[in-house]
Homo-oligomer: A and B are copies of this chain.
Amino acid sequence: MIIIMGLPGAGKSSVLSGVEGMGWKVLNYGTLMFEIAQKAYKLTNRDEMRKLPVEKQKKVQEEVAHRLSQEKGKVILDTHCSIRTAKGYLPGLPFSLLEKLPVDSIALITATPEEVMGRRKTDDTRVRDPEPIDSVREHDMMNKSLLAAYAAHRGCPARIIYNHDGKLEEAVRQLKQMLE
């Protein structure tokens, strides 16, 4: 299993599209969480997930970790490195989750703060809160520090892949190196 994470606006989806057809199954952590919570607690939309009591959220997380540990083939897990909340950056791969997953390596897709800002502005398919550039820079720095902590905990390699404007092919090439 390879875990791919990215800052919103870094273009993770585009980079992932570039490795289709190589025999890897892409699973989205948030989608898996919702599928399980939907059945277990009869949720109708994703926003209800955050309102679940912490105990129930943890049960859902454990069930997701269990399902992922059962996957046999080549799996890419698509998730967040951290989520920005009012209480701070919430790690997407806390050690309690990470230690249950059969991880081979981890990648963080990113870009310069300026590129991320530019893409968020022209992104017409999703509504995102406007954020000052220093805040994007801070989120990116925290993601890189979290990436190092994840790698140190798991003992696996961690790569930072820059998806610069007009250089999608280079980012895809770097991700392919990890999948070979």
Contact = CB atoms under 8 A, between A and B. Distances in A.
A173 to B, nearest CB: 11
Contacts of A155: 91, 94-97
Interface stretch (A71-79, A116-124, A138-146): A138-146
A163 to B, nearest CB: 15
A158 interface: yes
* Copies of the polypeptide in the assembly: 3
Contacts of A148: 89, 91, 142, 145-146, 148-149
Given A88-B178, A148-B149, A94 B154 contact: yes
B87 A177 contact: yes
A151 interface: yes
The 7 A-B residue pairs with the shortest CB-CB distance, nearest first, are: A94-B155, A88-B159, A145-B148, A88-B157, A149-B152, A87-B157, A149-B149
Interface of A: 82, 85-91, 93-97, 104-107, 138, 141-142, 144-160, 177-178
